[in-house]
Amino acid sequence: MKERSVIYRKAINDILEKMAFMFSEDAEKDDIIFPIGDVAVKVTIAFSGEINCQMDMMTCREFCLLLAKNALGIETDELNSQSECDALKEFANMVCGEFIELAEMSNKQLQMGLPHTQEVSKEEWETVLNNDKTLLFKVEDEFPLLATISLSEK
């Protein structure tokens, strides 16, 4: 199997482009700051079976707003916190599916869980940011996206 972080990075980039017509680039720690005056959000999705995997992504509320507009076609005046969370959950769901496909795990017996979101504290953001295994993205030259993955085979 290819290096999981390389596949995860590709899955995120592919879904950003296909689903939301957004582009990202790799970022450095210095490029990623906690969203001051905004809310930081984390989405988690997992699958289990022959392989167990958990994917987490952290970003800012403004990214979720743009994702809801671009991916779900929701007009600005119709946006609310629920549609923002729904967009982020759908994004995670699609990234997870793309990861399974790219990692050539489609033939494995896997059960995908439902994604869930939660607000993130500055301390949790900093901990994830300072983890050497965290993938760092800058989406649309503006929005931070931190991504982690843990995977184990039975």
Ramachandran category for residue 20: left, alpha or beta (phi over 0 → left; psi -120 to 50 → alpha): alpha
**Residue 54 amino acid letter:** Q
All structural domains of the chain with their residue ranges: 4-153
- Angle at CA of residue 13, ends 11 and 18, nearest 5°: 90
pLDDT at 12 over 80: yes
CATH no., domain 4-153: 3.40.1550.10
Residues 39, 58: contact at Cβ < 8 Å? no
pLDDT in tens, 78-96: 665 665 778 899 999 999 9
pLDDT in tens, 54-82: 999 999 988 988 888 887 676 666 665 66
